Chain A
Amino acid sequence: MRFLGNLLTLLAVIAAVVVLIAAPWPLLLGATLLLGAWLLWTRIGRQAASVTGIGVSTLTQRAGASFVIIIGIGGVVAVLVALLAMAEGYNQTLRRTGSPDSAVVLRGGSSAEVNSVLSHDNALVIQDAPGVARDAAGKPITSAELVVAANLPIRKSRDPDDLGSVQLRGIGPEAWQLRGNARIIAGEKFRPGLRELVAGRGAQRQFAGLEIGREVRLGVQRWKVVGIFETHDALESEIWADATDVGAAYRRGSSLSSVFVRLTDPGAFSQFKAALSADPRLNVDVSTTTEYYGKQSETITKVIRIIGMVVGAIMAIGAVFGALNTMFAAVAARAREIATLRAIGFRGVAVVVAVMIETMLLALLGGALGGLLAWLIFNGFTASSIAGGVGQLSFDFKVTAPLLWTGMTWALAIGVIGGLYPALRAARLPVASALRDN
């Protein structure tokens, strides 16, 4: 019988945790309101409310122990939210780069732009494909680009020979028209033929020497930095220069890596893709930019998320046992008081609910503290990693509301596990002996 009871409790705990983590917030809000109504309008509910009142009002006397729960859960939530925020920042930065109404064309089978080679003739064919948007003058809005990798000294490193890889994009004037969000924020655009380049804001943060007026060495050549641009997405981790200049420096002649096109509307993509696939002159892969950048972020985002969950789960185990410890101690310290309540007619359920509510309140505080810490320390924290196989991608941690909510549900789940067993023990306390014992 006892065993069956324990088993049922365990199942209830698991169910509660699953519901907490999976349920959408309106459901939980509804449950909370229901609980509130029960506390106010039923007899046992009112009993529970008054026992909770006593417990909460004596929390300050057990400040040290209560603090342990709050800090323990706060730590779990802070680490979890920080790691998830890293994944989110990485994912958002890459995803924002794409849009459903633009497409990128690469040579067939190329996983990234640097691996792709297209000829100038290919680019001309692609430009005239159906579905491509045209400007007021009737010219197709496309940009044929040459992407290569360049080595530049890393800013954070003291060793000037410590080189990192950055993506260098050779473009023409059309690229600025195609990418409406690209904006020069300091200096000016490069002029063709003069080995001038503009650096993205993210690239500038990552690499030394990308200051306006200074020269950087790419191979044997010196290029002059004439401007800084921002795009608020993955592209600002690159440096841009004239396509012909880049082609000459990298001995690529007039060959290209990719063609970006603006579509007349997102629906035109299938028509565009079908036309290029059917063209015998071309062997290309066509994808919308949403799809292209989404695929790049997929793996790393998933890896970081899993790491966050695993680390969070192990920490949560520690926190659960910490909470159990504290709440068992709290119940033991109040054994006499609880026994008295039971003796004068308070029901066991009321005691269980009261202890649970107390734990959940502490968990709530812990979750809020952890979320706040993660937000204060990590929101906007700049990190970098390799993306697209070649260049450093600089991105900011993003602590978003859904992530904070995830953290909060974890906190509450820890609270449920850490509170239920002590609560049950409180309710099962043998009244007579608890009253007699000191």
Chain B
Amino acid sequence: MKYLHLIWASLFRRKLRTILTLVSIAAAFLLFGLLDAVRVSFDQAGRSAAGAQRLQTGARLSFIDTLPSSLGAQIAAVPGVKEVAFANWFGGAYQDPHNQIFTFAVSPNYIDLYPEMELTADQRQKFDSDLNAIVAGSALVKRFGWKIGDRIPLQSQIFPDRQGSKNWHFNLAGILKARDKKTGGFYDGMVLLHWKNFDETTPYNQGSVGWYVTRVADASQADRVARAIDALSANSAHETRTQTEQAATASWMKQLVDIGLIVGSIMGAVFFTLLLLTGNTMMQSVRERTAELAVLRTIGFPPGAVLGIVLAESLLLLVLGGIVGLGLVSILVPVIVKGSGGMLNLPTVGASSWAMGLGLMLLIGLAVGALPAWRAVRLKIVDALAAH
């Protein structure tokens, strides 16, 4: 610590060079922070304490196939099952077919299974009492400027009503809010309608159910319960496939894009480049100061101290730049989330990202400083002084 002023002074010996290098480092860590946020948001999808307690049961044949509604009572009788709800895919869009919305037709108790979403008691009551009511996520409500009591036209991409029209009209009864803004973006962007309304209005459903959601009493029993549920319909015409919500989401995300590979290869390229760039700066800086380092040694600094000073300098460079970069991410992410109107839900830089970032800063700092520091130690004092 007592050398801090010395390290600081040598770091800003050439202001321009140090600042240019700092910006490069900040840019690299800015990218790291953004990509890590994307990776985390993919990772965290469906991962929550409540999610571990929920099982999803869908048709084994394919996700577009439906299940009989009689299965619900059988699932409820499986030991370990606390509550069973069900839902259908509605495939809604608002105004323009491109404005697709996650719209589900759900059983009355569906909302109870998701403590992640908040609905005030009177709005809930209003929703329950009106068969033609819907509740919508807060981000959607904001995006389209809806108000409670509005009559909302939604277009189904799949289901016509009995007259053959795919334009449905609903009454907005309440606004769903995600309890945890960080992970609950999904709940802020969806619409729920009554399954009974859906089933009675479209001639094509005829009592079938898209998937069942089951809450188990004990999360550690989830696998056993899942197998028991699948055994109910084994070898029937409607075989089921039951997974924890987490596993189901993870497998869907994996099908969408192999995010780990993409993020990994980009970060590899970025940090390799950064290593070279900063390494070059440090080499230059030490080369220029050969004489000064020789003087330090002459007046009695042990080799270890010189090594430490050079290493500390490169560490300081990396940590300064890195913190600026990650700090920028913390500012940018909320802006991006806001700018995208809730479509992109990135988590802010969490403790784990900071820890990983700091680890990278230290690692790269040491790697970059190693060679110049070694040179500084191996310096032949007489030659270095004479060369000047």
**Which A residues are closer than 8 A to B by beta carbons?**
64-65, 67-68, 71-72, 75-76, 78-79, 82, 108-111, 114-115, 117, 148-151, 154, 162-165, 168, 218-220, 249-251, 283, 311, 314-315, 317-319, 321-322, 324-326, 328-329, 383-386, 390, 392
Q: Is the CB of A75 within 8 A of B251?
A: no
Residues of B within 8 A of A318 (CB): 23-25, 27-28, 270, 273-274, 277
- The CA of A392 and the CA of B252, in the complex, are separated in Å by 11
Central interface residue in A76, A165, A168, by most chain B CB within 10 Å = A165
Q: Is the CB of B166 within 8 A of A150?
A: no
In the complex, which of the residues A65, A108, A319, A383 contacts B280, with contact meaning CB atoms closer than 8 Å?
A65
Central interface residue in B60, B156, B258, B273, by most chain A CB within 10 Å = B273
Question: A71 — nearest CB in chain B belongs to which residue?
Answer: B276
Question: B159 — nearest CB in chain A belongs to which residue?
Answer: A115
A68-B269 CB under 8 A given contacts A149-B62, A164-B255, A318-B28: no
Q: Is the CB of B273 within 8 A of A115?
A: no
* A-B pairs with beta carbons under 8 Å apart, 15 shown: A65-B280, A71-B272, A71-B276, A109-B166, A114-B64, A148-B65, A165-B255, A219-B65, A220-B235, A220-B236, A315-B269, A317-B24, A318-B27, A322-B20, A385-B257
Chain A proximity of B336: nearest CB distance (Å): 10
- The CA of A401 and the CA of B155, in the complex, are separated in Å by 43
- The CA of A322 and the CA of B255, in the complex, are separated in Å by 38
Q: Is the CB of B155 within 8 A of A386?
A: no
Residues of A within 8 A of B34 (CB): 314
Q: Is the CB of A163 within 8 A of B241?
A: yes
- The CA of A65 and the CA of B288, in the complex, are separated in Å by 14
In the complex, which of the residues A165, A311, A392 contacts B63, with contact meaning CB atoms closer than 8 Å?
A165
Determine whether B237 belongs to the interface, using a CB cutoff of 8 Å to chain A: yes
Determine whether B97 belongs to the interface, using a CB cutoff of 8 Å to chain A: yes
Determine whether B256 belongs to the interface, using a CB cutoff of 8 Å to chain A: yes
Given A251-B237, A318-B273, 16 more A-B residue pairs with CB atoms under 8 Å apart are A72-B273, A149-B65, A162-B251, A219-B239, A220-B236, A220-B239, A283-B164, A311-B31, A315-B27, A315-B269, A317-B24, A317-B27, A322-B20, A324-B20, A325-B280, A385-B256
In the complex, which of the residues B23, B236, B272 contacts A321, with contact meaning CB atoms closer than 8 Å?
B23
Q: Is the CB of A219 within 8 A of B60?
A: yes
Determine whether B385 belongs to the interface, using a CB cutoff of 8 Å to chain A: no
- The CA of A98 and the CA of B281, in the complex, are separated in Å by 53
Residues of B within 8 A of A76 (CB): 273
Determine whether B30 belongs to the interface, using a CB cutoff of 8 Å to chain A: yes
In the complex, which of the residues A114, A164, A250 contacts B61, with contact meaning CB atoms closer than 8 Å?
A250
In the complex, which of the residues B27, B158, B256 contacts A115, with contact meaning CB atoms closer than 8 Å?
B158
Chain B proximity of A366: nearest CB distance (Å): 10
Residues of B within 8 A of A82 (CB): 265
- The CA of A159 and the CA of B30, in the complex, are separated in Å by 36
- The CA of A163 and the CA of B164, in the complex, are separated in Å by 35
Chain B proximity of A363: nearest CB distance (Å): 14
Mask, B43-62, CB within 8 Å of A = 1, is 00000000000000001111
- The CA of A357 and the CA of B322, in the complex, are separated in Å by 33
Q: Is the CB of B17 within 8 A of A325?
A: yes
Determine whether B207 belongs to the interface, using a CB cutoff of 8 Å to chain A: no
Q: Is the CB of A321 within 8 A of B27?
A: yes
- The CA of A64 and the CA of B235, in the complex, are separated in Å by 68
Determine whether B342 belongs to the interface, using a CB cutoff of 8 Å to chain A: no
Residues of A within 8 A of B20 (CB): 321-322, 324-325, 328
Chain A proximity of B272: nearest CB distance (Å): 7
Residues of B within 8 A of A168 (CB): 62
- The CA of A325 and the CA of B278, in the complex, are separated in Å by 10
Central interface residue in A149, A162, A325, by most chain B CB within 10 Å = A325
Residues of A within 8 A of B155 (CB): 109
Residues of A within 8 A of B255 (CB): 154, 164-165, 384-386, 392
Residues of B within 8 A of A315 (CB): 27-28, 31, 269-270, 273
A328-B91 CB under 8 A given contacts A148-B62, A149-B63: no
Question: What 5 pairs between A and B have smallest CB-CB spacing?
Answer: A219-B61, A318-B27, A149-B62, A75-B273, A318-B24
Question: A150 — nearest CB in chain B belongs to which residue?
Answer: B62
Q: Is the CB of A325 within 8 A of B281?
A: yes
Q: Is the CB of A329 within 8 A of B284?
A: yes
Determine whether B266 belongs to the interface, using a CB cutoff of 8 Å to chain A: yes
In the complex, which of the residues A68, A117, A329 contacts B276, with contact meaning CB atoms closer than 8 Å?
A68
Determine whether B387 belongs to the interface, using a CB cutoff of 8 Å to chain A: no
Chain B proximity of A375: nearest CB distance (Å): 15
Task: List B residues 39-92 near A (Cβ within 8 Å).
Answer: 59-65, 91
In the complex, which of the residues A249, A314, A325, A326 contacts B30, with contact meaning CB atoms closer than 8 Å?
A314
Chain A proximity of B250: nearest CB distance (Å): 9
Mask, B270-307, CB within 8 Å of A = 1, is 10111011001101100000000000000000000000
Q: Is the CB of A319 within 8 A of B62?
A: no
Determine whether B386 belongs to the interface, using a CB cutoff of 8 Å to chain A: no
Chain A proximity of B288: nearest CB distance (Å): 10
Q: Is the CB of B273 within 8 A of A250?
A: no
Mask, B5-25, CB within 8 Å of A = 1, is 000000000001100110111
Q: Is the CB of B61 within 8 A of A328?
A: no
- The CA of A329 and the CA of B14, in the complex, are separated in Å by 11
- The CA of A352 and the CA of B25, in the complex, are separated in Å by 28
Residues of B within 8 A of A386 (CB): 255-256
- The CA of A319 and the CA of B270, in the complex, are separated in Å by 10
Q: Is the CB of B270 within 8 A of A75?
A: yes
Q: Is the CB of B16 within 8 A of A328?
A: yes
Question: A66 — nearest CB in chain B belongs to which residue?
Answer: B280
Q: Is the CB of A151 within 8 A of B60?
A: yes
Q: Is the CB of B24 within 8 A of A322?
A: yes
A115-B24 CB under 8 A given contacts A72-B277, A325-B281: no
Determine whether B157 belongs to the interface, using a CB cutoff of 8 Å to chain A: yes
Question: B236 — nearest CB in chain A belongs to which residue?
Answer: A220
Central interface residue in B21, B24, B35, by most chain A CB within 10 Å = B24
In the complex, which of the residues B235, B239, B269, B283 contacts A79, with contact meaning CB atoms closer than 8 Å?
B269
Residues of B within 8 A of A218 (CB): 61
Task: List B residues 239-262 near A (Cβ within 8 Å).
Answer: 239, 241, 251, 255-258
Chain B proximity of A428: nearest CB distance (Å): 15
Residues of A within 8 A of B237 (CB): 219-220, 251
- The CA of A105 and the CA of B64, in the complex, are separated in Å by 21
Chain B proximity of A386: nearest CB distance (Å): 5
Question: A67 — nearest CB in chain B belongs to which residue?
Answer: B276
Question: B166 — nearest CB in chain A belongs to which residue?
Answer: A109
- The CA of A385 and the CA of B258, in the complex, are separated in Å by 8
Chain B proximity of A144: nearest CB distance (Å): 19
Central interface residue in B59, B97, B157, by most chain A CB within 10 Å = B157
Q: Is the CB of B272 within 8 A of A75?
A: yes
Q: Is the CB of A78 within 8 A of B239?
A: no
- The CA of A249 and the CA of B239, in the complex, are separated in Å by 13
Question: B243 — nearest CB in chain A belongs to which residue?
Answer: A161
- The CA of A390 and the CA of B100, in the complex, are separated in Å by 15
Chain B proximity of A75: nearest CB distance (Å): 4
- The CA of A322 and the CA of B20, in the complex, are separated in Å by 7
Chain A proximity of B238: nearest CB distance (Å): 8
Chain A proximity of B215: nearest CB distance (Å): 22
In the complex, which of the residues B30, B157, B281 contacts A110, with contact meaning CB atoms closer than 8 Å?
B157
